[in-house]
Chain A
Amino acid sequence: MLEHDVLIIGAGLAGMRAAIAAQANGANTAIISKVHPVRSHSNAAQGGINAALTDRGDDWEDHAYDTVKGSDFLGDQDAIEVMCKSAGRSLIDMEHMGVTFNRDDEGKLGTRAFGGQRKARTFYVGDFTGQALLHVMFEQLIKSGIRSYEEWFVTGLIQEDGQVCGVTALEIRTGQIYAIRAKTVIFATGGLGRTFEPSTNALIVTGDGMALAYNAGARLMDMEMVQYHPTTLQGSGVLISEAARGEGAYLLDKNGDRFMEKYAPNMMELASRDVVSRAEQTEINAGNGVDGCMFLDCRHLGESLIMEKLSQIREIGIDLIGVDMITDPVPIRPGMHYIMGGIKTDIDGLTNVPGVYAAGECACVSVHGGNRLGANSLLDTIVFGERSGNHAALASRDVDYVEFDVDEVVKKEEERLQGILDRPQNGDRVGAIRLDMGQSLNNNLAVYRNQAGMEETLRDMTGFRERYASVPVDNKGSVFNTDLIFSLELGFMLDCAGAVTVSALDRKDSRGAQARTDFPDRDDENWMKHVVVTKGEVGPEISYLPVSITKWTPEERKY
């Protein structure tokens, strides 16, 4: 029997950090991931990780205020305090583990400026900080000897009387279904990027954990808050790091003017992401772009700085659209990048479902509120990954495994999956349905939103669900049947897309990433609260939670 005190689903930064913490607390720990840990999407974080180090004359309260303001005052201030206070220690821990952070002239950790922050407190490894951190965390995972189920796909949660007591999982290599018993489960499954098309997110980012938790009764919070990153590449829409602007790059319109002057005269290109993306979209809509794009101009930074600090994004530009940022401005546009919302947790990662935790992008603590600051996501994963690992380990100490009939559970799951494989070979393919869903969301739930558009997507969703119910699977085999997995992932994405749409429709103000043309102002009187979605008898049900305010009174946001 496979059984663990703490079972972590997802092996990105949050998941591996949680696993290492749980193991250190003496728990029988395992981590399970549909890809090998180093393939996880934490790789894609380019620019850096924020921390206010006191020996640099910085102060965690300044970092916390910038984060609260960046969140458009929707972030929970108690949670933000926890994150910003822990940041220094978490950063130094990562350095001690071996991360090769860039240094300053004295050999101490170097910083770069990042959006929405009044001080340069972003620590970085060139322009591949996420990859550098992820690989070092994987080294620590190897060192710890933690059991790692690599390329195992979690198909469902096992629940007895509401208590989660394990998961069913598909070993991708063999097609075998297993039930794994667990006292606690930590979701660290990342975001839901592929629900939108295009998106900067990797193809594996399909909202699995959010959907599994939602279906088990967990609350999804702030799901309307979808971040559009200001600089995604023309065409495929892959990410071009905010580090470029942190190092001093300009955003230009078709006439070569720095249009951010009109929108954020103080912070210019380094205003918070929601502000910059809205500015770009406004300019694009007014015809001041070229082919639906504005320009990121790095030419004045010089070749040597670009080669030292931005070499990988330069290469992406050359590889994908043949533009070298050393010599030419790069055409960019706002693109779906991150979800601030997720599985509602407390500051220890605990959800409302007994035995279930969440950390990282799939969770909503809520430290990002309406808009996440660049370089706060890596921090979020490490701080709350560690906290949930610690807490889950302690919580599993004094409880026994909940018994369930393993053979029965496995048999039922096998039958369910066989049912999918046995569908007739007609109807739309997974790819076609996903594309339609992604485009509908990108049309109606992007930088600017309105009632009519979002209602259209809500209506579309019914159609997508109908088509999904009969989606065929070409591959009938057992070994590495990715075709079957894509169909399961699409189910997860549809649940997530529904939660995003109903939340956005419900919130009738503009705040952070949600900018409604029909409700253009922030309405603190009625909407200074979190929108929460839970699974009801007939569909998603909306409720609200208050925003935690400790020391920063909501005020109008200017950059």
Chain B
Amino acid sequence: MTSLSIAHLDCDAFYASVEKRDRPELASRAVIVGGTGPRGVVSTACYIARISGVRSAMPMFKALQLCPDAVVIKPDMARYVEAGRKVRSLMQDLTPLVEPLSIDEAFLDLGGTEALHGGPPALTLVRLARRIEQEVGVTVSIGLSHNKFLAKVASDLDKPRGFSIIGKAETLDFLAPKPVSLIWGVGKAMQQKLAGDGIHTIGQIRGLDEKLLMKRYGRMGPHLWRLSQGLDERKVEPDGVAKAISSETTFDKDIAGLAALRAILWPLCEKVAHRLRKAGFSAQTITLKLRTGDFKAVTRSRTLEAPTQLADTLFRTAAALLAPEATGAVRYRLIGVGCSHLRPGEDADPPDLLDPGLPKRKKVEAAMEALRGRMGDEAIMKGRALPSRKPHEPRPRIIDPLAPKPSKRESAADQQPPDGNGSSASRRADRT
């Protein structure tokens, strides 16, 4: 047991636990944290609510059918993030090798810390769990084993407030009867494929030849084989630098129209750009995510010539990806924009021969960002963010000193690329 040093720590019903900590009167009630709108889904259900069958990602109306007495609370991310940070810093007191997976979950490698902490990792972890309960006020479940795969499996064994260990010697016997779905990377489709071949348990996979698995399941084959033997060489990587930044939203009612979707897309792009800037990144690949009314996911992405940090560029790219999908034929329930291939912020938006307006747009966004920092998000917004006008409504009278006068259209040319392909109508709306 002393040789085991890889741990997985998972906070129990984290959001709900934070709520119960801050509102002790809820301690014995069923608490569900999640969206309260007609399309709301459950983020986290406390263990009392789970007894009634409430689960994460369940539509809220269904959760309330199962558990009508539950107290539904809208998520307050700021408080959860703060609690999550405290938990993380307590872990980092023990070892620098902490790999956060999410706000309330992380891998730790406690190898070589026996002398430092005066005991084997198991003891150190028990102390950590107690400290988190005392100082943060939430309970955690911990799994300890000899690799990440098994540590994660172990932490799930005895939730909540659990502590499980899977030793080297018992690994194979432990895994043998377990369903294949325990292996990470085995989703519904893979599970069905395996079931089709008569394979249901990890033990059955172990009995097969690695080459045969490779032939049958391609690159997944060797992966299945290794994990079925309890082998997983992934290291605990503390540098969990962001690989992607994204933002998405689910609608109260499904939306089909391009204009309406574009209007929702813009603030998402602003949010992502803001987060890019704050994190000191720029991004080269933009991904548009859509989910149809019948839950089919659609993602479209495009890689730019140079990385960007501009909401405007994110929006133009995502909107170009959106146009062919939003023909009115399909109704969508969710839209999101994400960016990846992150690069340092100083590489963002290099000068472009064909886009002399770029430096100006950069300045505008930087200025807006600064103003919002001082006066709040509502202080300034682009025309694009204003509610769209119905055809029969009068044009809103917005006095815009920057708008070009019709007779002086030439003077505005420096804000536009010197080509005739962009629609000047949409550009005009870009002005602040």
Are A and B subunits of one complex?
Answer: no
Q: What is B's interface to A at a CB cutoff of 8 Å? A: none
